[in-house]
Amino acid sequence: MDTCERYDLEGDVVVIGGSGAAVSAALAAAEVGAKVILLSKGKVGRSGNAIISTANISMDGESAYRMGEKRADRRITPKKIFEGIVTNSFFLSEQYHAAAFAENCGRAVKDFIETGRRIGERFIFIPPSGWITSGRAIGRINRYRLRSTESVTFLEDVMVTDILTVRNRAAGVLGVELKSGRLILAKARAVIVASGGFQPFSFKCTSSDTTGDGLAMALRAGAGLSDMEFQLFLPGVLVQPLNHRGSIFPFLWYVGGFATPDILDEKGRRIIDSYERSILEKSLASKWFKLIHAYYWARAQGPLYFDFGSVKRMKYLVSVVRENILLKLMTGERWRYQGEDFRDLHEMVKRGERWKVSMSSEYSMGGILVERNMETSVEGLFACGEAASGFFGAFRGERALTEVLIEGEIAGREAARFAMGSSFAEPGREWLAERINMIAVGKGKEAQMPDYFEMSAELERLADYGFGALRREETMREALDGVRKVREALDMAAYRGVKPGYDTLFIERVRVENLAICLEAGLLSALKRRESRGMHMRSDYEEVDNENFLYRSVVSLREDGRIELSRKKPDCSVIEPPSGREAGIIDYIRRYP
Amino acid sequence: MKVYLFRWNPRTEEKPRYDTYDMDLNSYLGRREATLLELLGLIARYYDHSLSFLNHSNCNRGVCKRCMVRLNGKVVLACNEVVSEGMEIRVEPVNATRVVRDLVTEGL
């Protein structure tokens, strides 16, 4: 029989993930003196969503000025940054997280940029106080950072499937090395989940890593998930041409201040005409950009088009030149953004053709519920970056790449301190053997396995139907029923153990299980929130209702496998949240800078 | 369209083979074109769940380069290579001497 080997290792801290948050956490833990094991589902520096992001990082103006950027706006104080995060979050951000960010972003970003420049990466200053580089550069810098220390052992292409616990205390993880099928048992005193968010929809602008593994594992281990109803929809993702399907290039073109296209619906109507005048200007030059456009795009029927018909030819050509200057500065190459050559899009414009665009979910504001020190309710289990929640609340304007640096640092340091001061929790032998069997041997008869690919497609269909950018009671309820059916079927289903060599079916099954649990958590939280707030937009409840819904939704897993919902008040010790109701999201935005 | 696909599990099979798939893209996608990565996903979903292609950590934007395969002998990134109805294609691993399984190789 073709069975798998097992590889055991032991460290003080295990970090799950391979992008910015994971690397920052691993380095911070190593600095405190911990022996760290990092397990990454993909290749460090070539996986996760950071490498395909807009790749901007930012700090306060004074710190930027001190880095020699004379154009830095010193009025962007840590206090302003703090207020920006909290108001963007619709007051669901834990204010202690936002304060830690505002206080530390200057130092953390400076370190990151200096490390990057040392290995020849480019950072272009963008006023008032940020820099842009390429996703590739972010990846290379993270890889370099990780390799610069010997206290971190890292294994790649390892899909962690379980967090081991003993009496509500983290004890290590179990996973599979995907190319060999070898089982990995990593015992540790503390575990940090830094494996990103979840993306359940069919139309994607994210990496295929984004399956909510860390969230689902943490939930199964006993931690809570929070803010799961808030997915960030990015307006301006290419649907066609097909070779660029899922690219955020149109978004970047639009916010980059290049020749502005008309955004038309299928009937040729300019959707800008449906925008409230007062909000139009704000949409361009502010951190509200994504939310304002998402609000109107979600209400337009069908796909949208970037149409350059009314743009003067010369103006367009000048924009193309400017775009290429920026690309050259960012990456050293012209025409190419991320890994793609976009000359064909410009050719389309020349021929009078339009870019077909839509919205796509790029980020999960929700994630694992953590305390101030990034620890979960499970002792020794920590989370940071996109996998954690509590920082961006209902809406994130920007700063995702900066946030991971700071949260990673805190999680790494705190996990290491915890680990160094405690002994190993030894999982019971029988219990461990059972967990291992579930991966290596499977359950039931192989011939009776359901079609996991079909289930995966069903989940995407349900997410599109009920969990999209504009929601209402009926469709959410239907989608929730559907997801519960999938989860019940999964509970009953037979599956076989992982096979040596790359096992596509095993990967698909784990993906389905994790996405299903995240989607159920998201839908349940969304259903109970009978208001609109940030990226949770409802056509049946348009009001922002601070009287009844200024809380964070928390889900936890009951013994019987059902998901339970509770509420948590966010920390509002610095800025008092608004009271009463706003007529809608746009009215809320109007009140804040 | 017609797809000749390299298949090999070096642990259990002595030598590689080519499986042939006659596919009507339109019936699955409602369009006559697909990226090569989408096409491989369709084959795994509708024809053979055991097909291995690197799918756990793809950026889909040509950055990570992990979906690299040979299309009619030429090395391409499956994520932004478009194939369409009427084509006859041969899909193989980048390096047939380092096959883990089917299109997945060591070193990528």
What is the helix (H) or strand (E) element at residue A568, kind and residue range?
A: strand A563-568
Q: Does B102 touch chain A (CB under 8 A)?
A: yes
Q: Say which of A47, A179, A243 has its CB closest to residue B80.
A: A243
Residue A324 lies in a domain: yes
Same-domain check for residues A342 and A458: no
Cβ of B95 under 8 Å from any chain A Cβ? no
Q: What is the sign of the dihedral through the CA atoms of A324, A327, A328 and A333?
A: negative
Whether the CB of A207 is below 8 Å from some CB of chain B: the reply is: yes
- C-alpha dihedral (A292, A360, A535, A456), degrees to nearest 10: 170
Identify the three-state secondary structure at position A483: helix
- The helix or strand, by DSSP H or E, that contains position A492, with its residue range, turns out to be helix A473-492
Kindly give, in sequence order, each residue whose CB lies less than 8 Å from that of residue A3, ignoring residues fewer than 6 positions away: A440, A497, A500
Query: Looking at this protein, which amino acid is placed at residue A21?
Result: A
Write the ipTM.
Answer: 0.97
Nearest 5°: the CA angle A93, A289, A116 is: 75
d(CA A123, CA A55): 10
Distance CA A57, CA A101 (A): 13
Running DSSP on this structure, what letter comes out for residue A203?
Answer: S
Under DSSP, is residue A475 helix (H, G, I), strand (E, B) or coil?
helix
Measured CA to CA in angstroms, residue A57 lies from A28, A128, A440, A455 at distances of: 20, 12, 42, 38
**Nearest alpha-carbon partner for A509 in B66, B58, B37, B49:** B49
pLDDT score, position A337: 92
A261 is a domain residue: yes
Amino acid at A327: L
Backbone CA torsion sign across A581, A587, A588, A591 = negative
Please state whether beta strands B68-71 and A6-16 pair in parallel, antiparallel, or not at all (unpaired): unpaired
**Are B52 and A246 a contacting pair at CB < 8 A?**
no
The pLDDT assigned to A3 comes to 64
Please state, in angstroms and as integers, the Cα–Cα distance from residue A242 to each residue in A163, A335, A399, B2, B86, following that order: 39, 18, 30, 20, 17
Cα atoms in the 13 Å half-sphere on the side-chain side of A17: 40
Residue A11 to residue A152: CA distance in whole angstroms:
9
Residue A210: both structure tokens together: 């984004």
Q: Which domain holds residue A560?
A: 442-591
Cβ contacts (< 8 Å) between B10 and chain A: which residues? 501
* CA-wise closest residue to A386 among A142, A139, A196, A191: A196
Is residue A458 within 8 Å of A485, Cβ to Cβ? no
Over residues B34-85, the pLDDT tens digits come to: 999 999 999 999 999 999 999 999 999 999 999 999 999 999 999 999 999 9
Rounded distance, CA B16 to CA B28, Å? 28
Q: Tell me the C-alpha distance between A149 and A27, whole Å.
A: 8
Q: Closest Cα partner for A84 from A550, A587, A592?
A: A592
Contacts of A207 by beta carbon, 8 Å cutoff, 6+ apart = A42, A47, A48, A49, A51, A52, B57, B58, B59, B60, B64
Q: Where are the beta strands (DSSP E) in A86-182?
A: 124-126, 130-132, 152-155, 158-165, 170-177
Same domain, residue pair A459 and A567: yes
Interface with B, mutate which of A138, A208, A333 (most B CBs under 10 A) = A208
Q: To which H or E segment does residue A282 belong?
A: helix A277-284
Q: Provide, for chain A, the percentages of residues in helix, strand and coil under a 3-state DSSP scheme, each rounded to the nearest 5.
A: 40, 20, 35
d(CA B81, CA B72) in angstroms, rounded, equals 12
pLDDT 10s digit of each residue in chain A, 593 long? 456 789 999 999 999 999 999 999 999 999 999 999 999 999 999 999 999 999 999 999 999 999 999 999 999 999 999 999 999 999 999 999 999 999 999 999 999 999 999 999 999 999 999 999 999 999 999 999 999 999 999 999 999 999 999 999 999 999 999 999 999 999 999 999 999 999 999 999 999 999 999 999 999 999 999 999 999 999 999 999 999 999 999 999 999 889 999 999 999 999 999 999 889 888 876 899 999 999 999 999 789 999 999 999 999 999 999 999 999 999 889 999 999 999 999 999 999 999 999 999 999 999 999 999 999 999 999 999 999 999 999 999 989 999 999 999 999 999 999 999 998 999 989 999 999 999 999 999 988 999 999 999 999 999 999 999 999 999 999 999 999 999 999 999 999 999 999 999 999 999 999 999 999 999 999 999 999 999 999 999 999 999 999 999 999 999 888 999 999 999 999 999 999 999 999 999 999 98
Task: Note whether A577 contacts B: Cβ–Cβ < 8 A.
Answer: no
Q: How far is CA A575 from CA A76, A94, A95, A172, A552, in A?
A: 18, 11, 8, 39, 17
CB B89 within 8 A of CB B83: yes
Domain presence at residue A265: yes
Task: Out of A43, A340, A507, name the one closest to residue B61 (CB).
Answer: A340
pLDDT score, position A1: 45
> Taking a C-beta distance cutoff of 8 angstroms, is the pair A101, A391 a contact?
yes
Cβ-Cβ pairs closer than 8 A, A with B, add up to 116
**CA angle, residues A134, A135, A137, in degrees to nearest 5:** 65
Q: Do residue A508 and residue B102 have CB atoms under 8 angstroms apart?
A: no
Domain locations in chain B as residue ranges: 2-105
Nearest to B56 by CA among A175, A133, A15: A175
Q: Find out whether A127 and A73 touch, Cβ atoms under 8 Å.
A: yes
Of B56, B61, B66, the CB nearest to A52: B61
The answer to whether A340 contacts B65, with C-beta atoms less than 8 Å apart, is no
Question: Is the minimum CB–CB distance between A178 and chain B shorter than 8 Å?
Answer: yes
Q: Do B66 and A46 touch (CB under 8 A)?
A: yes
| Both tokens assigned to A406 | 């700071």
CA A261/CA A408 separation, integer angstroms? 39
From CA A442, how far away is CA A127, in angstroms rounded? 55
Which tokens belong to A507?
A: 């990967």
Contact A243 B56 (CB under 8 A): no
- Whose tokens are 């390799």? That residue is A147
Tokens of A231: 């997915």
d(CA A69, CA A62): 9
- Residue A228 confidence (pLDDT): 98
Among candidate residues A314, A329, A361, the one where a domain is terminated: A361
Residue A275: in which H helix or E strand, if any?
none
Is B2-105 assigned to CATH 3.40.50.970?
no
Rounded to the nearest angstrom, the gap between the alpha carbon of residue A235 and the centroid of all alpha carbons in its chain is: 16
- Domain count for chain A, please give it: 2
Q: Is A396 inside a domain boundary?
A: no
Of the residues B25, B33, B60, the best mutation for testing chain A's interface (the one with the most A CB atoms within 10 Å of its CB) is B60
What's the CATH number where A548 sits? 1.20.58.100
Positive or negative CA dihedral for A172, A174, A177, A180? positive
- Count of positions (residues) in chain A: 593
Are residues A104 and A409 in contact, defined by beta-carbon separation less than 8 angstroms?
A: yes
Token output for A392: 């961006």
Q: What mean pLDDT do residues B91-101 have?
A: 95
DSSP B51-108: -----SS--SSSSS-TTEEEETTEEEEGGG-EEETT-EEEEE-S-GGGEEETTEETT-
d(CA A57, CA A189): 33
Length, in residues, of chain B: 108
**CA separation for the pair A159, A8 (Å, rounded):** 15
What is d(CA A35, CA A31) in angstroms, rounded to the nearest whole number? 10
**Is B56 in Cβ contact with A178 (below 8 Å)?**
yes
| Residue indicated by tokens 């305390």 | A371
Q: Last residue of some domain: A339, A361, A383?
A: A361
Q: Output the six-digit token pair for A98.
A: 């936002």
Residue A421, Cβ density class (10 Å: 0-12 exposed, 13-18 middle, ≥19 buried): exposed
Asked whether the beta carbons of A398 and A286 are under 8 A apart, the reply is no
